[in-house]
Structure 1
Amino acid sequence: MDLMLSLALKEWAVAVEALEAGETILLLRKGGIREGKGGFKVEQNRVLLYPTFEHQKPDLLKSEYCKKVVSVESGWHPETVRIGSFAEITDAFLVAHEPAIKALLPYHIWNEQFITERLKWKPSEPVSVLLLRVYKLAETRIIPYRQEYGGCKSWMDIKELVSLENSVAILSDGEYNKQANAIRQTIANPV
């Protein structure tokens, strides 16, 4: 395993916090406006988790996550960014069937309105369902914000290499496999 990493996946800070707390292993993505041709694609299976505050909307979250959102004005960015974890993307499914996506509601932090909005935005594109095995870094990194980190894009190469050495899995193998298998089963057989 390569012990240094610079590729990051940008995600709402509230979602990164939930992943780091072991409250979810699932992300729903269609990608940002600046994804490029072909839309959202998993570029690598190991990524740093980069929390972003812009575009977080409390009304698109389940009630227990609404109060955790820090609202910011469009274009705002922090002076520094906390990188506290990385993830192995163990599964990536493309799901276009609305009942299958709605069946995943118990497994993530978003509400039904979020699902409806995701399906309406770029309706010809499926939703990417990612399962992430998250690891807490042995040493949290505080990196300076750079202008190129902004914008509606999912993937970015941060300028600092981050060590993965001595990182610890948030969930045990057994707990991660139990949750991942339940989600895989739900995708294969939506009610």
Structure 2
Amino acid sequence: MSEIDLPKSCGVGFKEWSGVCNALAAGAQTVILRKGGIAEGPGGFTPEHPFFWLYPTHLHEAQQGLRTGDERPAPGGDPGEVAIRALAAVDSVRRIDREDDLDALEEFHVWTSETVHKRFQYRNPGLWALVVRVWARERPTSLIATPEQLGCKTWVELIPPLPTAGLAPVLDDEAWERRREALRAVLG
């Protein structure tokens, strides 16, 4: 089994659609497919952090973008408030350069096929696949989004860093190893 020592705290947030964050926190998704954000420059997305909090956003979240029906924000609440409840650890990173390889990943994520293929084709064909193990807590930590966290960017700084105490893996060791091996078979 893979043993991961979580840091005592983490000050990095990874912005992703709220429905995807929910799927990751529920163990229904174990891969993140990413193109990159506008603010990341000409080099595009770089998987530069081994641990990060899932920072749910509704920016660019399309009504038909997910297969779960979990695309829209829950009614009420402060739109500037962000609920952080799950931490991801990057297990491996692969570049997907063949569009034909995307359909084999469907069981590992909740995006629609249309969304994944559009992401693949946007600008330069290709996507990054991050295989992640996720830990979550029952009650989220609520943050107020800062001006620096707004906009189309992937990585955001969380000040102060959030403690990881009280997190539990969303998939037990046996379930995680099965998913991880299945993903390795697909990604090579």
Fold conserved between structures, TM > 0.5:
yes
CA distance in 2, matches of 1:177, 1:43: 24
Cα distance, 1:140 vs structure 2? 2.5
Query: 1:2 is matched with which residue?
Result: 7
Q: Which runs of 5+ in 2 are unaligned?
A: 1-5
Letter in 2 for 1:159: I
SS in 2 for 1:177: helix
TM-score normalised by the chain length of structure 1: 0.87
Query: 2:115 is matched with which residue?
Result: 114
1:53-101 residue CA offsets vs partner (Å, 9 max, x unmatched): 1211132222xx12x22169xxxx8221111111101111111111112
Question: Given the alignment, which residue of 45, 61, 73 partners 2:66?
Answer: 61
Runs of 4+ in structure 1 over 6 Å off: none
SS in 2 for 1:58: coil
Rate the CA distance shift 1:140–1:115 in 2: closer, same or farther, 3 A.
Answer: closer
Between the two proteins, the alignment pairs up a number of residues equal to 180
Query: Are the counterparts in 1 of residues 95 and 127 from structure 2 also a CA contact under 8 Å?
Result: yes
- Percent identity reads 26
Query: Are the counterparts in 1 of residues 65 and 71 from structure 2 also a CA contact under 8 Å?
Result: no
1:109-163 residue CA offsets vs partner (Å, 9 max, x unmatched): 0122112211221224x20011111101376311111111111111111222100
What RMSD, in angstroms, separates the aligned Cα atoms of the two structures?
A: 1.8
TM-score normalised by the chain length of structure 2: 0.89
Cα distance, 1:41 vs structure 2? 0.7
Query: 1:47 is matched with which residue?
Result: 52
Query: Are the counterparts in 2 of residues 88 and 133 from structure 1 also a CA contact under 8 Å?
Result: yes
CA distance in 2, matches of 1:69, 1:138: 21
CA distance in 1, matches of 2:38, 2:13: 17
SS in 2 for 1:44: coil
Query: Are the counterparts in 2 of residues 86 and 137 from structure 1 also a CA contact under 8 Å?
Result: no
